[in-house]
């Protein structure tokens, strides 16, 4: 059944209408737009907020679904799955259902973009930055569950919009969003262009801000010779129903957390960490992963490989915690590679694989205690050893005391544990 597309949100433009009047006729301040907070919305949501706000949608009318929960899936998504899939995609039905049926104030538009490619710090250094095919096709897959008996979007007065968009190729985005959304929002080409610019500005600003915070954390660790933990995962593992908030439990043990997506990428730091690889020509830039991953098409997978290299080199990242979801075909080939890269410098590596809807609270508690135990026992030795591989000119300001010999540090190197 075709999705109903509104052509009448806004009054028709009268002939001779001034630009000002035309803008007023496009008052979108009362429109409510729902966005399922799933998959790569987690790393691009600020683009959509900036885009919609520039179009005149009020902030309070941009509605994201809640974090994933079992109740959400049970109440709103049950029986709407269409194909067997990985856990993060399966959960999408609950998010759609919550936006359609669970809002006190109804939404007018459900916006669920088919994100084909992503902005990435590795852009230009890898073959491509495309999303997992399940991420890209997820909206089509899940939409079908709400159309199979009857059109539940239309029945609830909701316009469903699912633009195909290559956020990794900025020049293409206006050309993709304008035709896909012009009838939904009564857009013209110029305002689409302005909204796309505003979207990227918002996304870039928030990414830069969080990365600055990441650098502050690393600087604090360097100044105080304290360890921190890197979470090696996909952006949507930040969803407490997908990643189960495990990093919060680790942080509660007193260890600052860095997420792969927001590692600081300042050029001084990058060149310091990758100096020896660059000097022997193993890589062309600090963002080059061709030495460990030649099939570098998938954006999040590329970043996971790069994050493993970063963690292996950075002295104060003494531990990597890897998350992966149930039935994730994209992560499978990376498990051994990332573990070997991280452990090559004696950095601790722990993995929580096959995460699904169940949060095994007791099991997670024991594993977190294990991680904290090893962090407490070995971090200082790991910091010393990894610092000894790097130049003393640390851009974070302070290197550990090197009186301990490399040999004695190497002897003390722990073996990492899979928990």
Which stretches of the chain bind ligand SF4, using CB under 6 A? 86, 88-89, 132, 134-135, 234, 325, 328-331
Closer residue to ligand SF4, CB minimum distance, 89 or 317: 89
Handedness of CA 282, 287, 293, 296 (dihedral sign): negative
**DSSP secondary structure string, 340-373?**
HHHHTTT-EEEEEEEE-S---HHHHHHHHHHHHH
Q: How far is the CB of 326 from ligand SF4 (least distance, A)?
A: 8
| Unique residue bearing structure tokens 């499978």 | 332
Instruction: State which residue, 108 or 301, has the beta carbon closest to ligand SF4.
Output: 301
* C-alpha to C-alpha distance for 89 and 142, rounded to whole angstroms: 8
Quote the least distance from Cβ 133 to ligand SF4, whole Å.
7
Closer residue to ligand SF4, CB minimum distance, 301 or 416: 301
H or E element that contains 99: helix 92-101
Q: Closer to ligand SF4 by CB, 11 or 329: give it.
A: 329
Closest CB 204 distance from ligand SF4, rounded Å: 24
Strand partners, 63: 34
Q: Which is nearer to ligand SF4, 247 or 331 (CB)?
A: 331
CA distances from 136 to 166, 261, 355 (A): 10, 19, 21
Residue 256 Cβ vs ligand SF4, minimum distance, rounded to whole Å: 26
Distance of closest approach, residue 138 Cβ to ligand SF4, in angstroms:
7
Cα distance between residue 348 and residue 333, in whole Å: 20
CA distance 50 to 62: 10
Q: Edge-to-edge strand order for the sheet containing 109-111?
A: 62-64, 33-35, 109-111, 159-161
Is the CB of 109 or the CB of 238 nearer to ligand SF4?
A: 238
Cα–Cα distance between 340 and 312 in angstroms, integer? 10
> What 3-state DSSP class applies to 371?
helix
Supply the minimum distance, in Å, between the C-beta of residue 144 and ligand SF4: 17
Q: How far is the CB of 247 from ligand SF4 (least distance, A)?
A: 17
By beta-carbon proximity to ligand SF4, the closer residue of 89 and 217 is 89
């Amino acid at each position: 059944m075709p999705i109903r597309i509104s052509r009448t949100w806004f009054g028709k433009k009268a002939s001779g209408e001034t630009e000002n009047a035309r803008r007023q006729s496009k008052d979108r301040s009362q429109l409510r737009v729902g966005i399922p907070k799933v998959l790569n919305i987690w790393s691009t949501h600020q683009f959509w907020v900036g885009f919609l706000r520039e179009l005149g949608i009020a902030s309070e009318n941009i509605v994201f679904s809640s974090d994933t929960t079992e109740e959400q899936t049970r109440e709103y998504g049950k029986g709407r799955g269409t194909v067997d899939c990985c856990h993060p995609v399966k959960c999408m039905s609950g998010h759609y259902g919550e936006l359609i049926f669970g809002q006190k104030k109804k939404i007018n538009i459900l916006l669920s973009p088919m994100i084909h490619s992503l902005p990435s710090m590795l852009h230009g250094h890898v073959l491509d930055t495309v999303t997992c095919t399940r991420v890209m096709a997820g909206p089509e897959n899940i939409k079908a569950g709400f159309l199979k008996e009857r059109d539940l979007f239309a029945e609830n007065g909701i316009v469903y919009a699912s633009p195909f968009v290559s956020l990794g190729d900025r020049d293409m985005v206006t050309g993709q969003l304008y035709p896909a959304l012009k009838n939904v929002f009564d857009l013209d080409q110029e305002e689409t262009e302005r909204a796309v610019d505003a979207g990227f500005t918002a996304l870039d600003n928030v990414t830069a801000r969080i990365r600055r915070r990441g650098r502050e954390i690393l600087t604090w660790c360097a100044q105080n010779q304290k360890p921190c933990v890197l979470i090696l995962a996909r952006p949507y593992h930040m969803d407490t129903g997908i990643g189960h908030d495990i990093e919060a439990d680790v942080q509660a043990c007193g260890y600052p957390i860095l997420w792969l997506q927001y590692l600081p990428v300042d050029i001084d730091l990058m060149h310091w960490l990758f100096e020896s690889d660059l000097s022997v020509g193993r890589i062309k830039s600090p963002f080059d992963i061709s030495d460990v991953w030649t099939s570098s098409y998938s954006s999040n997978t590329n970043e996971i490989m790069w994050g493993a290299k970063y963690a292996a080199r950075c002295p104060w990242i003494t531990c990597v915690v890897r998350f992966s979801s149930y039935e994730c075909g994209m992560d499978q080939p990376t498990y051994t590679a990332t573990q070997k890269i991280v452990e090559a410098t004696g950095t601790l590596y722990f993995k929580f694989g096959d995460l699904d809807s169940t949060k095994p609270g007791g099991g997670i508690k024991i594993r977190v205690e294990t991680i904290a135990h090893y962090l407490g026992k070995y971090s200082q030795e790991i910091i010393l050893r990894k610092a000894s591989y790097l130049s003393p000119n640390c851009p974070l300001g302070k290197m550990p005391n090197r009186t301990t010999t490399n040999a004695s540090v190497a002897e003390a190197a722990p073996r990492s544990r899979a928990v």
